[in-house]
Amino acid sequence: MPRTTHPELHRTERIGWLRAAVLGANDGIVSTASLMVGVAAAGAGRGELLVTGVAGLVAGAMSMAAGEYVSVRSQADTEHADMSRERAELAAQPAAEKQELASIYVARGLSPDLAKRVAEQLMAHDALGAHARDELGISPEGNARPVQAALTSAASFAAGSACPLLIALIVPPRWVLPVLPAASVALLAVLGGLAARVGRAPVLPAAIRVAVLGALAMAVTAGIGRLFGAVI
């Protein structure tokens, strides 16, 4: 009989780049908008406001790239070390490794005899891949990619930071303080909803969560900017 299949669309393969992209864009909007709102609340003019925004964009993008690279590079180094150790153990103790793999399948619900046969067949096909996936939890879809994560974070941060800058350029100076935070919060809500939709997660809670946290950050910096502006 012909084999029948049904199409399935999952989002797990997008987790790495999606997380970096969403985090970068979210940080770009929140940090740059917060900086600019704080400076505007202190009474700065358009020139100072734009300089602050550009400085925040460049510094933030570099910081995001460096931080994401170091973080994901550490994860990749750990995965490589685990794989090297597992490769050595397979070469030195193949029988013990086969029993270890079978015990994993028994714990998941297979009978001991079936678990042993499954372990034997999987190890005959790809012993290291079977242990990486089922013992270490390492899969090709979830492999750490530090350069990709760093570039994605930097680009998405810059894209997010550009939004408050464009708003400050377009809006008349006297309207910057009310319009900039309102527009930034709206952008954050759209970003949170879009990320949730791409990942097939509930859209509204994600949008509200991101918008509220961004509004809180801008409110705090506005209060500090107004305080310092009054003192100075």
CB 127 within 8 A of CB 97: yes
The C-alpha angle 35, 67, 11, rounded to 5 degrees, equals: 100
- End-to-end Cα spacing for the chain: 82
- For the CA atoms of 166, 169, 174, 177, what is the dihedral angle to 10 degrees? 30
For residues 86 and 165, what is the distance between their CA atoms, to the nearest angstrom? 50
What's the distance, CA 47 to chain centroid?
33
Q: 4 in the Ramachandran plot: left (φ > 0), alpha (ψ -120 to 50) or beta? A: beta
Q: Return the CA Rg of the chain.
A: 25
How many angstroms separate the CA atoms of 20 and 159, rounded? Answer: 13
Report the pLDDT value the prediction gives residue 135, as an integer from 0 to 100.
76
Tens of pLDDT, residue by residue, the chain (232 residues): 444 454 544 454 555 566 667 778 888 999 999 999 988 888 888 888 899 999 999 999 999 889 888 988 888 888 888 888 888 888 888 888 888 888 888 888 888 888 888 888 888 888 887 877 877 777 765 566 788 878 888 898 999 999 999 999 898 878 888 899 999 999 999 888 887 877 778 889 888 998 999 899 899 998 888 887 654 4
Distances (CA, A) of 108 to 103, 113, 114, 124, 217: 9, 14, 12, 21, 45
pLDDT at residue 51, rounded to an integer? 92
- Cβ–Cβ < 8 Å for 57, 29: no
Specify the pLDDT at position 150: 84
Q: What per-residue confidence (pLDDT) applies to 151?
A: 86
146: exposed, middle or buried (Cβ count in 10 Å: 0-12, 13-18, 19+): middle
Query: What integer pLDDT is reported at residue 2 of this predicted model?
Result: 47
